C-alpha cells in the first residue's frame, strides 16, 4: 500500500475501532485471569494462574514471530488496515526493526515464564488477595491513554 493517499479520518475511525476491539480482548483476558485466580484460591496453588499466563505469553510470542517472519499480521481487516498505515507511515525498515524487537522480547518473556513454571515450587505459593490482579489494570489504562494520544496526533 505504499504510495497510497491515506484518508486520515478513516484511519482515525479504524484506530478507534481497533482500540475498542483491543479493549474487549483485554477484558476477556482479565476475566479469564479472575476465574483462574478464583480457581487457584480454591485449589490452593498458583500453578494454574501461572500456566494461564504462560499460555497467553506464548500465544503473543507466536503471533509476533509470525508477523515478523512473514510481514503479514494476523487479525481483523481493521487491524490489517491500521498496520498497513503504520507500516507506510513509519517506513518498511523501521517497522521491521520494531516488529523484530517485539518478537524477541515476547519470546524471551515466554521462555522466562515457562522456566519459572517448570523450575519453581508453586505448591506452597498461594493467592491470598484479589489485589494481585490489579497490576493488569495499570498497563491496560496506559495502553488506552497512549493509543488515544496517538490517534489525536494523526
- Give the model's pLDDT for residue 145: 94
Locus of grid cell 521491521: 96
Taking the C-alpha atoms of residue 89 and residue 94, their distance in angstroms, rounded to an integer, is 10
Q: What is the pLDDT of residues 93-129, one digit of tens each?
A: 998 999 999 999 999 999 998 998 888 776 665 566 6
Q: What distance separates the 2 farthest-apart alpha carbons in the chain?
A: 59
Answer for the pair 44, 93: CB distance below 8 angstroms, yes or no: no
- Rounded mean pLDDT of 20-46? 81
Q: How far apart are CA 64 and CA 26, in angstroms?
A: 17
Q: For residues 16 and 151, is the Cβ–Cβ distance under 8 A? A: yes
pTM of the model: 0.77
List C-alpha distances in Å: 1 to 12, 32, 92, 95.
17, 37, 11, 14
Amino acid at each position: 500500500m505504499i504510495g497510497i493517499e491515506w484518508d486520515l479520518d478513516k484511519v482515525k475511525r479504524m484506530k478507534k475501532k481497533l482500540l475498542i476491539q483491543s479493549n474487549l480482548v483485554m477484558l476477556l483476558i482479565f476475566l479469564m485471569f479472575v476465574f483462574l485466580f478464583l480457581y487457584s484460591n480454591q485449589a490452593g496453588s498458583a500453578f494454574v494462574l501461572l500456566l494461564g499466563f504462560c499460555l497467553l505469553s506464548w500465544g503473543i510470542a507466536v503471533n509476533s514471530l509470525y508477523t515478523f517472519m512473514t510481514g503479514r499480521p494476523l487479525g481483523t481487516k481493521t487491524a490489517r488496515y491500521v498496520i498497513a498505515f503504520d507500516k507506510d507511515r513509519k517506513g518498511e525498515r523501521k517497522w521491521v526493526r520494531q516488529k523484530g524487537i517485539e518478537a524477541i522480547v515476547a519470546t524471551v518473556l515466554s521462555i522466562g515464564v515457562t522456566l519459572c513454571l517448570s523450575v519453581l515450587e508453586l505448591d506452597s505459593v498461594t493467592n491470598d488477595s484479589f489485589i494481585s490482579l490489579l497490576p493488569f489494570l495499570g498497563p491496560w489504562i496506559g495502553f488506552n491513554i497512549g493509543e488515544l494520544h496517538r490517534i489525536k496526533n494523526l
